[in-house]
């Protein structure tokens, strides 16, 4: 079976004919169209088709679509030479300075009759559909034993895949001691360095329409998006491309990834045509350019800056409202871009997504990526038809339009299932009123398999026991095999905050001085946004006293700021800014704040914070805290461990689901305020009655009856 | 090296740690001593630049450059940069430059602390707006100006070039930092308790003292 990956190629007909012809052979391998992109002295060439099979090795095709055979010999030379160049960069193919894999080249000209075809010689081969067979036969792997022994097929695949990816690894020291954390980390990073097939395909395949990329956090969406943008830019240098995102710190990351990819192809990115920009934007220098601002300017609409938007539309929905407003005011569509790529689409209002759609010329090439599991209870985003209108052509069965990145490359199976367990409250003590301990649940049970879980036993049916576990393919073992379980995840309780802080600082010191980790391998996260700076400052102080640089991640106040600064400092952050970032070692402090709901946040939100914090980890996580609630949290974790990191629970009934949804519904600040006020009033009432400051007789008989009635009847529901 | 120079450096480090403990300092650098071989020692931070001397640069450019090269002792919650530099010859202080450079990109902490203290505040809400007035200040001490019209110890406000408000003496790190915290991070001042009773001897001249000037506390 040959897997086909279709990059952009305008030789559609001959490509289809080639594909059809090759289908009959029963090869095992991959067929790329319009890939790889190979740098030449001054520019780039794009390979028409590339076949990599176990049986035949590497075969490059030059496709001839029309009558003009061009200078096919020269082209074949180019392909072969550039490919050879690229492969010579990979030591695994070289023995005694010679390339061990053959580079076969064949020109495929399906519109030429056999009579008109030029003569093939030993070196330059050209064929049509009829003569394809004999040419394929003549390609033989010189020494099949050597080929298999050295796994040249797998290595070729890896090499080709790496051509459409980039090495993002930091430079690490090599360690002699492989038990050191630093050494383990290097191995993990090297293994992840190549894109997998799905990611590869997501980068290369484009459609002349909407493309949706979704997956778990840590499935590589940001990198895929960046590479995609860079690739489109290289292939279409005159196109106007915009890439946007919600978290400010991503701007640098995108610029870096795009630059790296372009430089690997010996091109510099032209920032005039590829814009890495934020969503809102303001007037002023280049750096403040944004898509909303551009939209307003181009369509001659009133632009609202933040304070204006706040006062006119309110704080909460300010951005959504101004986008909606702008869309309403648009009379005629004035497109600005050929392609727009949106990362973290779940953080944007639908109005903004629509606005981007309007900024595009036909065909509407919009690529949006989002975390399927940002919000543990719901589908993050509605369907493309719901967002962009029924006219949009979106086929969920077309893998080039709807891409799901199932493999999580960041979190190992134990860490991910722990995060999901705690986030959903799988092993939380039963709430007798509702009959389940669950905190939240997916509305659509299909999501479980979408994000890489298997139903090992039972069913996802209300009232039934079910057992879910991560499949090996969606949670690669190399992510967990490097360390003992108790080293991967550690929960620890302390007597006092000071004890907690001292322990964390001491551990960080060990990580850096004894275990070979770098400062930017570590993040210290505090889950409660109201206490972050108070909580991390004392730890930072101890670190400074130890001579270790540490910083608090604040607002990106100038273009040079980023999450990890210069990489020589340990980052201390709250949840909000930690989102989207990752590190090998994560310390979640004050985890006791994640056990119970507080009056202004519901339990789902609280547990979501813990979920986000834990899933920042690429390797190891330490969850620490104080007090009873930390103890209860640790009890929940020990249940997860005892269940072997499987999710064993009774799937909630529809009624239970409804209830969960209600108590965890999104509340506007006004609603929250009202509830707070009323709760406060109720507390006072109870107090005053208890202490006889008010008497029951002070109330009207009717009122008391009414109240009793409401309380008893509503409670019975 | 005279021991009081070492202890001054330690003093700055201790104050840095103290301020770091209480939520308003997000990043800092360890002060270092460097000698130039001529019996002169300076206490500064690594990556010292002279970018703030460049008058042709915009404030933003100067600020960006200082952040990029990490030329600051303290970087505060609202992006403000605090620098302390001292120059000694043998035992004596001959120069200091103590500066407070607020961020041109963000609103002030003092006027907006509730917004700053929640780490889930959207960055958009902290961006500088029309209400902002960005105003750097510098306390300079330079013994070389003796004999000219300039007071040896003076305060410069903003980027006004001849603004030299006379100050009674050189400032100790504690003088400067408690001044900054009390006036620009006032709600935090109660946490900033170290009571340091050291001070430098008066350097202000009589005629300067007859003008509007700043009197540093004198401890006996």
* Cβ–Cβ below 8 Å for A534 and B119: no
DSSP string, A256-317: HHHHHHHHHTT----TTTEEE-BSS--SSSGGG-BHHHHHHHHTT-PPP-HHHHHHHH-STT
Give the position of tokens 């008010």: A694
The residue-averaged pLDDT of A487-501 equals 96
Residue, of A310 and A454, whose pLDDT is higher: A454
pLDDT at A406 > cutoff 70: yes
**pLDDT, position A599:** 65
d(CA A596, CA A636): 13
Residue A668 confidence (pLDDT): 66
Q: What is the pLDDT of residues A40-71, one digit of tens each?
A: 888 888 999 999 998 889 999 999 887 677 78
Average pLDDT over residues A633-644: 95
d(CA A143, CA A302): 70
ipTM of the complex: 0.93
Q: Report pLDDT for A372.
A: 67
- 3-class secondary-structure state, position B202: strand
CB A555 to CB B106 under 8 A? yes
Mutation to test the A interface, candidates B19, B20, B58, most A Cβ within 10 Å: B20
Q: Which residues of A touch B16 (CB under 8 A)?
A: 544
Instruction: Taking the CA atoms of B117, B123, B129 and B134 in sequence, report the sign of the dihedral they define.
Output: positive
pLDDT at A487: 94
Three-class SS state of A711: helix
In the DSSP assignment, the letter for residue B167 is: B
Statement: residue B99 has pLDDT above 90: yes
pLDDT tier at A149 (50, 70, 90 boundaries)?
Answer: confident
Q: pLDDT digit string (tens) for B151-205?
A: 999 999 998 888 999 999 999 999 999 999 999 999 888 877 667 778 888 888 8
The candidate with the shortest Cα–Cα distance to A203, out of A224, A220, A221, is A224
CA–CA distance, A510 with A317 (Å, rounded to integer): 45
Contacts of A534 in chain B (CB under 8 A): 22-23
Phi, psi angle pair for A411, to nearest 5°: -100, 135
What was the pLDDT predicted at A669?
64
Of the residues A306, A554, A561, the best mutation for testing chain B's interface (the one with the most B CB atoms within 10 Å of its CB) is A554
* Minimal-distance CA residue of chain B relative to A565: B68
Q: Which of A552, A558, A577 sits opposite B63 (nearest CB)?
A: A558
Name the residue facing A557 among B21, B24, B103 (closest C-beta): B103
- Of A305, A534, A558, nearest to B105 by CB-CB distance is A558
The C-alpha of A396 sits at a distance from chain B's nearest C-alpha, in angstroms, of 34
Percent of chain A with pLDDT strictly greater than 90? 35
Instruction: Over range A561-573, report the average pLDDT.
Output: 87
Does B15 have pLDDT greater than 90? yes
Query: Which residues of chain A does B78 touch, with a Cβ-Cβ cutoff of 8 Å?
Result: 557
* Mean per-residue pLDDT over chain A, rounded: 86
Mean of the pLDDT values across residues A181-209?
A: 81
Confidence of residue A354 (pLDDT cuts 50, 70, 90): very high
Q: Do B120 and A306 touch (CB under 8 A)?
A: no
Nearest-by-Cβ selection for B20 from A544, A547, A569: A544
Which pLDDT does position A557 carry in this prediction? 53
Q: Which residues pair with A525 in a beta bridge?
A: A573, A588
Contact A558 B67 (CB under 8 A): yes
Q: Would the CB atoms of A533 and B16 count as touching at under 8 Å?
A: no
Whole-number Å distance between alpha carbons of A532 and A471:
36
Average pLDDT, integer, range A604-622: 92
How close does chain A come to B124, measured CA to CA in Å? 7
pLDDT, residue A715, reads 64
Q: Tens of pLDDT along A361-396?
A: 888 899 999 876 655 545 567 888 888 888 777 877
Interface test with B, best of A555, A580, A605 (most B CBs within 10 A): A555
- Looking at residues A120-138, what average pLDDT do you find? 86
Contacts across the A-B interface (CB distance below 8 Å): 86
Proportion of chain A above pLDDT 70, given as a percent: 93
Tell me the per-residue pLDDT of A207-252, one tens digit each, with 9 for 90 and over: 778 999 988 877 888 888 999 999 999 999 999 999 998 877 788 8
Query: From CA A133, how far away is CA A22, in angstroms rounded?
Result: 9
pLDDT band at A165 (very low <50, low <70, confident <90, very high): low
Please name the residue of chain A whose CA is at the shortest distance from the CA of residue B17: A541
* Nearby residues of B38 by Cβ (< 8 Å), 6 or more positions away: B89
Average pLDDT, integer, range B49-58: 81
Contact B119 A541 (CB under 8 A): no
SS3 content of chain B, % helix, strand, coil (to 5): 30, 25, 45
Distance between B148 CA and the closest CA of chain A, angstroms: 39
Kindly report, residue by residue over A245-298, the tens digit of the pLDDT. 887 778 888 898 899 888 888 889 999 999 999 888 765 545 567 888 889 888
Averaged pLDDT, A468-489 = 91
Q: What Rg do the C-alpha atoms of chain B give, in angstroms?
A: 17
DSSP A346-367: GGS-HHHHHHHHHTEEEEEEEE
Is A598 in contact with B140 (CB distance < 8 Å)? no
Q: How far apart, in whole angstroms, are the C-alpha atoms of residue A297 and residue A305?
A: 13
Judged against a pLDDT cut of 80, whether residue A681 lies above it is answered with yes
Per-residue pLDDT at A302 exceeds 90: no
Q: How confident is the model at residue B129 (pLDDT cuts 50, 70, 90)?
A: confident
Give the model confidence (pLDDT) of A433-442 as tens digits: 778 888 888 7
Q: What is the CA radius of gyration of chain A?
A: 29
Nearest CA to CA, how far is B80 from chain A (Å)? 10
Chain B residues with a Cβ under 8 Å from any Cβ in chain A: 16-17, 20-28, 30, 63-64, 67-68, 70, 75, 77-79, 103, 105-106, 117-120, 123-127, 129
| Euclidean distance between CA atoms A272 and A289, whole angstroms | 12
Q: Is the pLDDT score of B51 beyond 90?
A: no
Q: Which of A445-449, A471-475, B162-166 is the most confident on average? A: B162-166
What is the band of B109 on the pLDDT scale with cuts at 50, 70, 90? Answer: very high
């Amino acid at each position: 079976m040959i897997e086909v990956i279709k990059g952009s190629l305008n030789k559609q007909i001959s490509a289809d004919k080639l594909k059809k012809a090759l289908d009959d052979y029963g090869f095992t391998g991959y067929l790329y169209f319009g890939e790889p992109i190979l740098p030449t002295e001054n520019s780039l060439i794009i390979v028409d088709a590339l076949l990599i099979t176990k049986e035949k090795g590497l075969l490059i095709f030059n496709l001839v679509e029309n009558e003009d055979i061009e200078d096919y010999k020269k082209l074949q030379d180019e392909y072969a030479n550039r490919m050879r160049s690229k492969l010579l960069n990979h030591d695994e193919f070289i023995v005694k300075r010679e390339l061990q894999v053959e580079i076969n080249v064949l020109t495929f000209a399906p519109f030429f009759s056999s009579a008109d075809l030029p003569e093939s010689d030993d070196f330059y081969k050209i064929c049509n559909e009829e003569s394809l067979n004999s040419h394929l036969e003549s390609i033989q792997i010189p020494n099949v034993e050597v080929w298999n022994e050295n796994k040249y097929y797998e290595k070729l695949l890896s090499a080709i895949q790496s051509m459409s990816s980039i090495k993002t690894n930091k430079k690490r020291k090599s360690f002699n001691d492989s038990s050191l954390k630093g050494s383990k980390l290097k191995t993990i990073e090297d293994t992840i360095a190549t894109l997998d097939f799905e990611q590869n395909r997501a980068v290369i395949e484009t459609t002349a329409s909407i493309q949706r990329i979704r997956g778990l956090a840590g499935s590589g969406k940001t990198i895929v998006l960046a590479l995609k943008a860079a690739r489109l830019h290289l292939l279409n240098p005159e196109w106007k491309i915009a890439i946007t995102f919600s978290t400010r710190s991503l701007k640098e990351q995108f610029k870096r990834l795009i630059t790296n990819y372009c430089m690997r192809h010996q091109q510099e990115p032209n920032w005039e045509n590829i814009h890495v920009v934020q969503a809102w934007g303001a007037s002023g220098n280049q750096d403040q350019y944004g898509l909303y601002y551009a939209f307003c300017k181009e369509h001659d609409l009133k632009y609202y800056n933040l304070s204006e938007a706040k006062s006119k539309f309110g704080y909460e929905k300010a951005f959504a409202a101004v986008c909606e407003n702008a869309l309403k005011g648009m009379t005629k569509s004035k497109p600005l871009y050929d392609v727009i790529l949106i990362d973290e689409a779940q953080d944007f209002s639908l109005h903004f997504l629509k606005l981007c759609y309007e900024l595009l010329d036909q065909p509407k090439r919009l690529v949006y990526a989002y975390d399927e599991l940002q919000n543990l209870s719901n589908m993050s985003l509605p369907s493309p038809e719901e967002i962009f209108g029924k006219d949009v052509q979106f086929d969920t069965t077309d893998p080039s339009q709807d891409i799901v990145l199932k493999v999580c490359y960041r979190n190992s199976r134990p860490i991910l299932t722990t995060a999901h367990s705690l986030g959903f409250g799988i092993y939380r003590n039963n709430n007798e009123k509702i009959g389940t301990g669950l905190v939240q649940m997916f509305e659509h049970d299909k999501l479980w398999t979408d994000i890489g879980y298997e139903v090992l036993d039972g069913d996802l049916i209300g009232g039934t026991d079910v057992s879910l576990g991560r499949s090996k393919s969606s949670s690669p073992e190399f992510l967990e095999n490097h360390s003992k379980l108790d080293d991967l995840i550690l929960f620890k309780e302390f007597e006092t905050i000071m004890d907690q802080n001292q322990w964390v600082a001491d551990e960080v010191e060990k990580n850096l001085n004894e275990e070979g980790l770098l400062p930017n391998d570590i993040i210290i996260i505090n889950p409660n946004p109201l206490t972050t700076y108070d909580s991390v400052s004392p730890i930072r102080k101890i670190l400074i006293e130890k001579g270790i640089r540490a910083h608090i991640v604040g607002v990106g106040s100038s273009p040079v700021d980023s999450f990890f600064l210069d990489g020589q400092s340990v980052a201390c952050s709250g949840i909000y800014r930690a989102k989207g970032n990752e590190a090998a070692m994560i310390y979640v402090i004050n985890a006791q704040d994640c056990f119970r709901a507080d009056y202004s946040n519901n339990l789902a939100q609280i547990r979501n914070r813990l979920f986000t914090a834990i899933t920042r980890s690429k390797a190891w996580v330490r969850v620490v805290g104080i007090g009873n609630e930390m103890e209860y949290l640790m009890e929940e974790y020990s249940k997860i461990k005892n269940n072997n990191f499987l999710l064993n629970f009774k799937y909630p009934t529809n009624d239970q689901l409804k209830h969960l949804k209600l108590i965890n519904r999104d509340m506007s600040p006004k609603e929250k305020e009202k509830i707070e006020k009323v709760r406060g009033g109720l507390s006072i009432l109870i107090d005053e009655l208890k202490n006889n400051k008010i008497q029951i007789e002070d109330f009207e008989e009717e009122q008391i009856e009414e109240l009793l009635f409401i309380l008893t009847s509503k409670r019975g529901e | 090296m005279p021991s009081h120079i070492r202890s001054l450096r330690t003093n700055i480090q201790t104050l840095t740690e103290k301020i770091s403990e209480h939520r308003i300092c997000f990043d800092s650098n360890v002060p270092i001593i460097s000698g130039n071989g001529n019996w002169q020692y300076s206490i500064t931070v690594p990556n010292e630049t002279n970018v703030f001397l460049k008058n042709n640069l915009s404030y933003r450019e100067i600020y960006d450059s200082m952040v990029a090269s990490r030329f600051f002792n303290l970087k505060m919650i609202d992006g403000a940069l605090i620098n302390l530099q001292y120059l000694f010859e043998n035992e004596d202080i001959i120069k200091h430059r103590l500066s407070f450079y607020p961020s041109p990109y963000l609103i002030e902490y003092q006027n907006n602390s509730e917004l700053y203290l929640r780490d889930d505040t959207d960055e958009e809400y902290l961006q500088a707006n029309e209400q902002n007035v960005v105003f750097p200040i510098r306390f300079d001490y330079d013994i070389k100006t003796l004999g000219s019209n300039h007071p040896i110890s003076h305060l410069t406000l903003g980027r006004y070039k001849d603004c030299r408000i006379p100050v009674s003496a050189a400032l100790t790190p504690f003088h400067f930092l408690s001044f900054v915290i009390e006036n620009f991070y006032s709600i935090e001042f109660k946490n900033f308790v170290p009571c340091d009773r050291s001070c430098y001897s008066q350097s202000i001249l009589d005629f300067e003292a007859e003008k509007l000037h700043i009197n540093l506390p004198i401890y006996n």
